[in-house]
Chain A
Amino acid sequence: METSKINGTLIWYYYICQREVWLIGHSIEADQENDFLILGKHIHELFYKGEKKEIFIDNTIKIDILSNKKVIGEIKKSSKFIQSARMQIAFYLYYLKKEKGIEFVGELLIPEERKKEKIILTKEIEYKIEKAIKDITEILKLPKPPKPEKIPYCKNCAYKDMCWS
């Protein structure tokens, strides 16, 4: 496992479930038939079709660039895990700043709730991201996944059956 391969998804899950960070980090995928997973994909395909452009950077991060070229957007189904979503965008901003020397502004989009939120990379957020990257690297080094813990997220999680079988 290459420790430099931290991506936005791992950051998102870091703030929700560390077990999931390990599983995804080891390419153990969730149940692809999970209704919520399918719904999420549809929302992604359906909204902002015209104005977004999905691009891959360094094979590591996948971002949606919105029509205005200095804004990167991230689409979510609901604001339930808004902190995770904010940090995921912050990670993209951080990555682009550190690796590419470009400063972007982020935008969190929740089409179903007609919500938009601007995300700006502050020093404080940068520290948080750095800590998350360090922690995730440690989690991925563990020989086996952290034990499952029952949290509210489990209810609709595509890994549910895997964790609680």
Chain B
Amino acid sequence: MKKAVYLFNNGVLRRKDNTIYFERENDKRIIPVNTISEIHIFGEVDLNKRVLEFFTKNSIPLFFYNYHGYYVGAYYPREYLNSGLLTLKQAEFYLKIKERLFLAKSFVKGAVENILKNLKYYQKSKDDIKDYVKFIEEKKNEIDLKQDIPSLMALEGEIRKSYYESFNIILNSESFYFDKRTKRPPNNPLNALISFGNSLLYTTVLSQIYRTHLDPRIGYLHETNQRSFTLNLDISEIFKPIIVDRVIFSLVNKGKIKIEHFEEDVEFSYLNEKGKQIFIKDFEEKLFTTIKYKNLGNVSYRRLIRLECYKLYKHFLDEEIYKPFIAEW
């Protein structure tokens, strides 16, 4: 399995023959293109067209983040897998409202089931969690009643709001407190962690979609006509609780991430460089962790994301109805 590369330093990405160098003052690092799946760029990096051409040739997308770690865009190389059939099917399932709603609901159901897995795990030690479990389980039953995407999204928002409130019990920390979700910019350290983690997940999923025949521009839950990539947001819903949120719980509860890892202003809060690095280390470790998968032996979380894409293939080809991944614990 290929790995992601994260660049924090300022420097120049240079192509020399069939290799990429990342050059800094007095320092030259070789990036072996055969072993990487994508590059996440956080520092001030200069690059030219030659480099981009080389990344295209090797099917490597680049993701750019601004100074605050906020996703700013991607270099998504030309598609290298072309199957007209799957593209047409993917669009067909978007255009038929019943089919679109089915998939949108599947993503929400997957998200909610995985949220409940997290809550039930913490319920064992923290009794107050049970109220959240009860509320979310009731709300879960309303998913099937929804007849359109906006009301489905509103329901999902309600569930997630309640879930995020439960973080105050799970984390039990004064520094990481949830009052309301704020995104652009995040207003406190917990929101900053959630935003940063979700950004990383969106690009990680996008990178996996790039390695399939799926078109990331056609999503089902998220509005396709409003942004360039949406399918990655849909698939991310399922994995946020089991990847991003679990990384947050562990980082905060083990005291690995502290208030000193944030840059704070009156109104906003961002992870500083050290904080981002700490987060990414655990995030990558999580993606690398393997679990047992029914027919395929041990599968990493990163691979699990790819499998989700393959399950969509089968759904589109009318082979097997899509069921979102739900964690076993």
A22-30, A63-71, A128-136: which lies at the interface: A22-30
Q: Is B313 an interface residue (CB 8 A)?
A: yes
Residues of B within 8 A of A29 (CB): 81, 83, 213
The size bracket of the interface on B is 20 to 34
Minimum CB distance partner of B59 in chain A: A32
> Once bound together, how far apart are the Cα atoms of A150 and B194, in whole Å?
41
Q: Is B268 an interface residue (CB 8 A)?
A: no
Q: Is A111 an interface residue (CB 8 A)?
A: no
- How many whole Å from B255's CB to the nearest CB in chain A? 37
Minimum CB distance partner of B325 in chain A: A165
| B310 in complex: contacting residue of A27, A147, A162, CB < 8 Å | A162
Residues of B within 8 A of A33 (CB): 1-2, 37, 211
A164-B295 contact in complex given A28-B313, A33-B1, C-beta closer than 8 Å: yes
Docked-complex contact A28 and B86, CB < 8 angstroms: yes
Could you tell me the dominant secondary structure of chain B's interface residues?
loop
- How many whole Å from A92's CB to the nearest CB in chain B? 26
Docked-complex contact A161 and B303, CB < 8 angstroms: yes
Q: Is A31 an interface residue (CB 8 A)?
A: yes
- How many whole Å from B302's CB to the nearest CB in chain A? 11
> Once bound together, how far apart are the Cα atoms of A24 and B49, in whole Å?
33
B12-20, B24-32, B112-120, B314-322: which lies at the interface: B314-322
> Once bound together, how far apart are the Cα atoms of A31 and B307, in whole Å?
11
For B59, B82, B307, B317, the residue with the greatest tally of chain A CB atoms inside 10 Å of its CB is B317
Docked-complex contact A26 and B85, CB < 8 angstroms: yes
> Once bound together, how far apart are the Cα atoms of A147 and B319, in whole Å?
8
> Once bound together, how far apart are the Cα atoms of A145 and B83, in whole Å?
14
With an 8 Å Cβ cutoff, the count of chain A residues facing the other chain is: 17
For A31, A150, A165, the residue with the greatest tally of chain B CB atoms inside 10 Å of its CB is A165
Q: Is B140 an interface residue (CB 8 A)?
A: no
A161-B310 contact in complex given A26-B83, A29-B81, A32-B59, C-beta closer than 8 Å: yes
Q: Is B311 an interface residue (CB 8 A)?
A: yes
Q: Is B266 an interface residue (CB 8 A)?
A: no
Within 8 A of B (CB), among A122-146: 143-145
Residues of B within 8 A of A26 (CB): 83, 85
> Given A33-B1, A164-B295, A165-B307, 7 other A-B contacts at CB below 8 A?
A28-B213, A31-B306, A32-B80, A32-B211, A145-B317, A161-B307, A162-B310
B residues neighboring A (CB under 8 Å): 1-2, 37, 59, 80-86, 211, 213, 294-296, 303, 306-308, 310-311, 313-314, 317-319
